[in-house]
Amino acid sequence: MSEEILIEGNIENIVYSNPENGYSVVDLNVEGKLVTSVGIMPSICVGEKVRLMGTWVNHPSFGRQFKADKCERTLPKTAGDMLRYLSGGAVKGIGPSTARKIVERFGDQTFDVLENHPEELAQIKGISRDKAMDMSEKFKSQFAVREIIIALERFNMNSSECLSAYKAYGNHAVERISENPYILCSDKVGLRFERADEIAMSFPVQVKGLFRQRAGIIHILKHNLRNGHTCLPRAKITLPALIAKPKIDSTLSFCNFKLLYKVIIYAIFNSHLKVARKHFSFLDLFYALFFRANVCTASIFLACKV
Place 252 in a pLDDT band, splitting at 50, 70 and 90.
very low
Would you say residue 279 lies in a domain? Answer: yes
**Which helix (DSSP H) or strand (DSSP E) does residue 280 occupy?**
strand 279-282
What is the predicted pLDDT for the residue at 235? 57
CA distance 185 to 192: 6
Q: Which of 42, 74, 106 is the last residue before a domain boundary?
A: 74
By C-alpha distance, which of 31, 76, 78, 36 is closest to 58?
A: 36
C-beta neighbour count of 158 within 10 angstroms: 17
Residue 302, classified by CB atoms within 10 Å of its CB into exposed (0-12), middle (13-18) or buried (19+), is exposed
pTM for the whole structure: 0.60
By C-alpha distance, which of 202, 159, 204, 166 is closest to 184?
A: 166
* Owning domain of residue 255: 180-285
Q: What is the CATH number of the domain that holds 221?
A: 1.10.10
Where is mean pLDDT largest: 21-30, 88-97, 240-249? 21-30
Least confident window among 149-153, 166-170, 187-191, 246-250: 246-250
Question: How many residues would you count in the chain?
Answer: 306
Q: Which of 49, 74, 99 is the last residue before a domain boundary?
A: 74
CA distance 268 to 275: 8
Note whether 15 and 25 are within 8 A (CB): yes
Q: Structural domain tally of the chain?
A: 2
Q: pLDDT over 70 for what percent of the chain?
A: 70
pLDDT mean across residues, the chain:
77
Least confident window among 5-14, 55-64, 81-90: 81-90
The residue among 158 and 110 whose pLDDT is bigger is: 110
Would you say residue 93 lies in a domain? Answer: no
What lies within 8 Å, CB to CB, of 125 at 6+ separation is 101
Q: What is the CATH number of the domain that holds 17?
A: 2.40.50.140
Q: How far is CA 57 from the centre of its chain?
A: 26
Place 223 in a pLDDT band, splitting at 50, 70 and 90.
low
The residue among 266 and 2 whose pLDDT is bigger is: 2
Would you say residue 267 lies in a domain? Answer: yes
Note whether 68 and 158 are within 8 A (CB): no
- Buried residues in 178-187 as b, exposed as e (16+ CB within 10 A): eebbbbbbee
What is the predicted pLDDT for the residue at 288? 53
Would you say residue 253 lies in a domain? Answer: yes
Would you say residue 301 lies in a domain? Answer: no
CA distance 298 to 306: 12
Q: Which of 74, 109, 125 is the last residue before a domain boundary?
A: 74
Would you say residue 137 lies in a domain? Answer: no
- pLDDT digits 0-9 by tens, 117-149: 999 999 999 999 999 999 999 888 777 777 788
75-83: Cβ within 8 A, 24+ apart: 75/48, 75/111, 75/143, 75/146, 75/150, 76/47, 76/48, 76/49, 76/111, 77/108, 78/108, 79/103, 79/107, 79/108, 79/110, 81/10, 81/47, 81/48, 81/49, 82/47, 82/108, 82/110, 82/111, 83/47
Would you say residue 158 lies in a domain? Answer: no
Would you say residue 235 lies in a domain? Answer: yes
- pLDDT digits 0-9 by tens, 3-41: 789 999 988 889 998 888 889 999 999 998 999 999 988
**Looking at the DSSP assignment, which residues form a beta bridge with residue 279?**
233, 276
